[in-house]
Each structure stands twice: as C-alpha cells, then as structure tokens.
Amino acid sequence: MKSVGIIGGSGYTGGELIRLVIHHPALELEFIYSTTRAGKAVNSSHPDLLGSLDLNFTDKVNENIDLLFLCLGHGNSRAFLEKHSFSKETIIIDLGNDFRLNSDQEFGGRHFVYGLAELQRDRIKKATAIANPGCFATAIQLALLPLAKHSLIKDAVHINATTGSTGAGVGLSPSSHFSWRNNNLSWYKPFTHQHLGEIHQSLQQLNSPSALFFMPQRGAFTRGIFATAYTHFDGTLEEAKTLYKDYYASHPFTQVSNEEISLKSVVNTNFCFLHLHKHENTLLVTSAIDNLVKGASGQAIQNTNILMGWEENLGLQLKASIF
C-alpha cells in the first residue's frame, strides 16, 4: 500500500480524487490538507462520503508521504511547495497548471513530466513528479494526436468545446450560479484560453505546429466536456478511423466510436470517447470526457498506476450514469 496525502481537498477536483483514492486497492489515504477546513470532518464538505471515510481535514503534512497530490487553484502549487518540503522519495502529482509548460517543469530539484499518458506513457513510467494536463487540453489533444503524429494537420484547426459548471471550481461567481447557468449558454476567453499553451507544446513535440482557433463555452450542466475540432483532411473517413484506432489501440481509456457519441456516456468515468465524421475535405473529430475524472483526478490516478507499474485501469473501473 502507498500512503497518500491530498493538498486542497475541499473542492470538486479534490473531492473526486478522495473518492478514487479510498476505493483504490493499492492506495491508503493518510491526510487531506486544508487551511480553511482544518479540524472539520471531510464529509462536511463532501456529504456523499458519509460512511465511507472517517477523517478530518488537517493543516499538518507528513513530509515522508509516498504520494502527494496537489489540488490547489492555478498558480498556488508552486507557492505551497516553496513553503513545505517533502522527501526526495515522495512522488508529487500537481493537478494545477503550474508545471505543465516546458519552461516551468524544473522546480526544487524535481523535473515535472507532462502527464498525458496517450502521448507520454514512457516518460511517465520513469517520473517522480507529474504535471497533470488541463481538462480542455486533455479533450482537445486526444482529438488531435493521431493527426499530429502523422503530420496530417495541414491547415488551421477550429475547436468548439463546452464544459460543465464544475470546471469553474467550487467557489461561486456570477456565471457559475444556478440562476445564471441554468437554461443558458455563453462563451468565454475566446481564442486565448490558458490550456492552449500545453496543447501547442504537445503538437510541437510531434513536429506538428498548428494554428488553433479555440472557442470555450459554459454549458448548463455540471460535469463533462463535449468538444468538436475540424480541419482539412485529404484522406478518406475509413483511413482516418484506421489512423485513430491504431494510435489508441494500446491506450485503454481512449476509445474510437463508429457511432455518434454523447456526453453522458463518459460522465463519471475515466474514458475519452472519440467519433470521426468527414464532410467533403473536412474531418470533424468529436471528443467527450468527464472534466473531473479523465480531465483531472482520474487522469492523476491513471498516471499513478503507470509510474507505479500497476495495471493502468486499477481503481478506475467506473460506470457512467447514462440513464
């Protein structure tokens, strides 16, 4: 059993990670750090854990913990690690964006490996620190990696992706309040979303620099990302399907569907479902994930399994609530 500490466990991502850790057969949750909730029962923030976990939040850490997960707001992981030191044997997985870009991956004697398993599995196996990808970045990259690997992105890629309200975090804002979000739809950060940096980085790694026009949207639902990306493609639809199925043949959580996909098929799971459609010379790739699982905490557990040498789907055999 590997001991686990979670930093920042009162939010949506932290809560999802707690659920996955306590049901993982090779992990043991030791502490959940929170400066605002210290001393309070974890189920006071996550009432669905009543009867599953008898643990209080704490403002103390164990510096010799086996695995440390950082579930802090973007920009706060680096500040936390500057104030707290951990054993060199402690594996750190950051679910924020502090260490995703190449220029930020060296910190405190550690090298953070970008944790997109479908691109970096071999590097993840040897890692001692992981920078977990962003949720939009995960959905979009998985839609584009097979094309990028074969240098088939010849033109600009246009992307539209809608995310649920949990993507905005547990703190309330005007656009995450139920009265605003329900029966509503809007875009935000058009063409400038912060996840574009890591997407460009991965495409460049495959020698496929591309122009990306990304329009993120707020959806009137809680969980999931439904993304569509389209670009020029000279091959046939069957050639594209073969390309994608061959690329993901050894990756258990990314599946190519012959039928049209919908969001509920992946919510509450660590899967990414892809679907391909061709119109004249344009290839449309649809990608669907759960932003809190494959887009965050589930992917963190997937990376843990890989670097520990365990089965990649250990503790992640989850079922969608499609009905």
Pairing status of strand 2-7 against strand 27-33:
parallel
Q: Determine the 3-state secondary structure of 55 from DSSP.
A: coil
- Among 277, 238, 272, which Cα is nearest to 256's? 272
Q: Identify the three-state secondary structure at position 304.
A: helix
Question: Residue 147 corresponds to which tokens in the numbers above?
Answer: 């094309």
Instruction: Tell me the residue ranges of DSSP E strands in 64-198.
Output: 67-70, 91-94, 106-107, 110-111, 113-114, 129-131, 157-163, 186-187
- The domain spans of the chain are 2-133+294-308, 135-291
Tokens for 148? 């990028």
The span from the CA of 86 to the CA of 108, in Å, is 10
pTM (predicted TM-score): 0.96
Closest C-alpha to 95, from 66, 120, 70:
70
In single-letter form, the type of residue at position 154 comes to K
Whether 81 and 7 have beta carbons less than 8 Å apart is answered as no
Question: Is position 71 annotated as part of the catalytic site?
Answer: no
Look up the CATH number of domain 135-291.
3.30.360.10
Task: Provide the H-helix boundaries in the chain.
Answer: 12-22, 77-83, 117-125, 135-149, 178-181, 196-205, 237-247, 298-308
- Distance separating alpha carbons of residues 93 and 82, to the nearest angstrom: 15
> Which pLDDT tens digits describe the chain residue by residue (323 residues)?
999 999 998 889 999 999 999 999 999 999 999 988 999 999 999 999 999 999 999 999 999 999 999 999 888 999 999 999 999 999 999 999 999 999 999 999 999 999 999 999 999 999 999 999 999 999 999 999 999 999 999 999 999 999 998 876 666 677 777 888 889 999 999 999 999 999 999 999 999 988 999 999 999 999 999 999 999 999 999 999 999 999 999 999 999 999 999 999 999 999 999 999 999 999 999 999 999 999 999 999 999 999 999 999 999 999 998 88
**Is domain 2-133+294-308 in CATH 3.40.50.720, yes or no?**
yes
Kindly state the DSSP code that residue 122 receives in the 8-state scheme. Answer: H
- The long-range contacts involving 50-59, CB below 8 angstroms and separated by at least 24 positions, are 52/19, 52/22, 53/18, 53/22, 53/29, 55/29, 55/31, 57/9, 57/10, 57/32, 57/33, 58/31, 58/32, 58/33, 58/34, 59/33, 59/34, 59/35
Catalytic residue (one of 91, 95, 116, 135):
135
